[in-house]
Amino acid sequence: MTRLSNQSLPSSAAARPQYERGGVRPGVVHFGPGAFHRAHQAAAFDTLLAQDLRWGLTGVSLNSRGVAEALAPQDGLYTLALLDAQTEYRVIGAIGKVLTRDDPGPILAALTHADTRIVSSTVTEKGYCLDASGALDFAHPAIRSDLEAARSADWVPGSFTGWLVRGLQARRLAGLPGVTVMCCDNLTDNGRKLESATMALAETIDPETARWIADQVTFPNAMVDAITPATDDALRARVAAAIGLEDAWPIQRERFTQWVVEDRFAGERPALDVAGVTFASDVRPFEAAKLRLLNGPHSALAYIGLGRGLETVAEAMADRELARFVEQLMREDIAPSITAPPGLDLSAYITDVLARFANPAIRHLLSQIAWDGSQKLPYRLLDTTREALAAGRPVERLALPIAAWLRFLQRATREGHAITDPLAAPLLERAGDWRRILAMREIFGELGEDARFVRAVEAGMATLNAGRLEPLPA
């Protein structure tokens, strides 16, 4: 079968880029062109390109070569499958090149190109090297090695934050204007966190550049949402059959998508509104609603569902007891912690999220959501729990997914299978004595020492051990 490429594109049966790719100029350097970026932000830029060719994307994969190798023979093209009762296929052309850590020269050239106005990122929670307080972790090996490297003028960074400082330093020295740095990961206050981390690193490496960044660069907060199950061979086969071409790395996502960006751009703002993007003066209420009411319950379904032998989110939602538990968790325990963004009806939002989870057209593996629990749970469930305790509300239901996570770690230790988590080693080492996990301040902060929380987690373990989700009557 012919491979997808510029040349074969006209013969494909999918929707195609509505612009002449030869005329595209890269205006954005994106770190982390994985499934989420390619399903969400790149699709929005693809829509924008039909009106304005100055917003092409250059991808940078710091940790793997897979995306670069899959997309190079395809001229950056890939297929996006929009999953619903009827699947729709669309070829996305927004990404030109994908660079890897083997291309430090081209990465620096892209960052310092006069046409580059945005640097964006989806490097996942752990990619920012932050500590439990959300500040840059100077003890992180990647940051330590960047600090070492930065002693030489032509240093090559390893971390994303290192690359930001390096690129911005080079822009300053070249007399170029600043850029907008757009964080697109699921972190509370994501733009501000990246701003403080970048400033902290720049101040240590080159205070002059730090001052320049404060003056010339903005870091808007953003809320990004689209459920994106990982690519599997079944998708590759479906795409090949549907478009009539071979695509080494197609992407799938639900039809629903939302992107709210703080209106805080250093230079020109891309007219992403044509792709349904909302610009808002304050994104925090949207972020809180999404992280707490979508990602929190997602993690709850993952850890509890895996414990019940289930495989996908839709299957977990078909487990009536679990679906009822998650709905109660959302309506009774999480919603009270959220101040709804203007115009958003929280109750309707919850109903919509539950319907998205239950969508039978989407095979979203619970094991995928279960990755990186130590990085995700603080934003997704622990902040809500802290606030509930402070307000004197019960935390039994909020503690149940945490108990399910601890049991997930215990099972991994017992059965000797690996987990994906930057803290895998200490977590698995402590799993037999779960209180030692609650004592890990880098995850739980002071919450792990709160007796009410510890009691609730213990009760949650007992409930789950009894195969239940509601505690046994006393």
Taking CB under 6 A as the binding criterion, the range among 99-107, 222-230, 279-287, 427-435 that sits at the site for ligand CS2 is 222-230
Closer to ligand CS2 at the Cβ: 362 or 388?
362
Least distance (Å) from ligand CS2 to the CB of residue 368? 6
Q: Binding mask 266-285 vs ligand CS2 (x if CB under 6 A, - otherwise)?
A: --------------------
Taking CB under 6 A as the binding criterion, the range among 16-24, 170-178, 291-299, 448-456 that sits at the site for ligand CS2 is 291-299
Least distance (Å) from ligand CS2 to the CB of residue 228? 6
Give the DSSP H or E segment for 48: helix 41-49
Residues 6+ apart with CB under 8 A from 215: 178
Least distance (Å) from ligand CS2 to the CB of residue 262? 18
Nearest residue to the partner ligand CS2, using Cβ? 298
10 Å Cβ neighbour count for 255? 17
Per CB under 6 A, contacts with ligand CS2 among 439-468 are none
Least distance (Å) from ligand CS2 to the CB of residue 294? 6
Taking CB under 6 A as the binding criterion, the range among 54-62, 125-133, 162-170, 294-302 that sits at the site for ligand CS2 is 294-302
Residue 436 burial by CB count (10 A; 0-12/13-18/19+): exposed, middle or buried? middle
Answer yes or no whether residue 8 interacts with ligand CS2 by CB under 6 A.
no
Q: Which one, of 359, 360, 87, lies nearest residue 241 by Cα?
A: 87
Closer to ligand CS2 at the Cβ: 146 or 287?
287
Size of the site for ligand CS2 (CB under 6 A): 10
How would you classify residue 76: left for phi > 0, otherwise alpha for psi between -120 and 50, otherwise beta?
A: left
Answer yes or no whether residue 225 interacts with ligand CS2 by CB under 6 A.
yes
Least distance (Å) from ligand CS2 to the CB of residue 362? 10
- Look at strands 258-262 and 278-280 and give their pairing: parallel
Closer to ligand CS2 at the Cβ: 199 or 227?
227
10 Å Cβ neighbour count for 372? 18
Strand partners, 280: 262
Taking CB under 6 A as the binding criterion, the range among 76-84, 221-229, 407-415, 420-428 that sits at the site for ligand CS2 is 221-229
Burial 182-219 (b: 16+ CB within 10 A, else e): bbbbbbbbbbbbbbbbbbbbbebbbeebbebbeebbbb
Least distance (Å) from ligand CS2 to the CB of residue 369? 4
User: Residue 73 and residue 71: Cα distance in Å, rounded?
Assistant: 6
Taking CB under 6 A as the binding criterion, the range among 115-123, 133-141, 290-298, 329-337 that sits at the site for ligand CS2 is 290-298
Answer yes or no whether residue 186 interacts with ligand CS2 by CB under 6 A.
yes
Answer yes or no whether residue 226 interacts with ligand CS2 by CB under 6 A.
yes
Answer yes or no whether residue 298 interacts with ligand CS2 by CB under 6 A.
yes
Q: Is the dihedral of CA 443, 418, 253, 182 positive or negative?
A: positive
Alpha helices, DSSP H only, in 103-249?
Answer: 104-111, 141-149, 160-173, 190-205, 207-216, 233-243
User: Residue 451 and residue 175: Cα distance in Å, rounded?
Assistant: 56
Hey, what are 145's tokens? 């090695």
Place of tokens 């079944």: 234
User: Residue 172 and residue 315: Cα distance in Å, rounded?
Assistant: 52
Taking CB under 6 A as the binding criterion, the range among 208-216, 293-301, 432-440, 450-458 that sits at the site for ligand CS2 is 293-301
> Of these, 67, 95, 181, 227, which contacts ligand CS2 (CB under 6 A)?
227
**Rg, the chain, Cα only:** 22
Taking CB under 6 A as the binding criterion, the range among 121-129, 195-203, 223-231, 324-332 that sits at the site for ligand CS2 is 223-231
User: Residue 341 and residue 2: Cα distance in Å, rounded?
Assistant: 48
CA dihedral in degrees (237, 243, 248, 254; nearest 10)?
A: -80
Closer to ligand CS2 at the Cβ: 63 or 145?
63
Q: Binding mask 156-175 vs ligand CS2 (x if CB under 6 A, - otherwise)?
A: --------------------
Instruction: Report yes or no: 37 and 67 within 8 Å, Cβ to Cβ.
Output: no
Answer yes or no whether residue 295 interacts with ligand CS2 by CB under 6 A.
yes
Closer to ligand CS2 at the Cβ: 98 or 377?
377
User: Residue 26 and residue 88: Cα distance in Å, rounded?
Assistant: 27
> Of these, 129, 353, 369, 412, which contacts ligand CS2 (CB under 6 A)?
369
Instruction: Report yes or no: 452 and 395 within 8 Å, Cβ to Cβ.
Output: yes
Q: Binding mask 230-259 vs ligand CS2 (x if CB under 6 A, - otherwise)?
A: ------------------------------
Hey, what are 72's tokens? 């190079």
Least distance (Å) from ligand CS2 to the CB of residue 222? 12
Closer to ligand CS2 at the Cβ: 376 or 430?
376
Which residues of this chain interact with ligand CS2, rule CB under 6 A? 186, 225-227, 294-295, 298, 368-369, 376
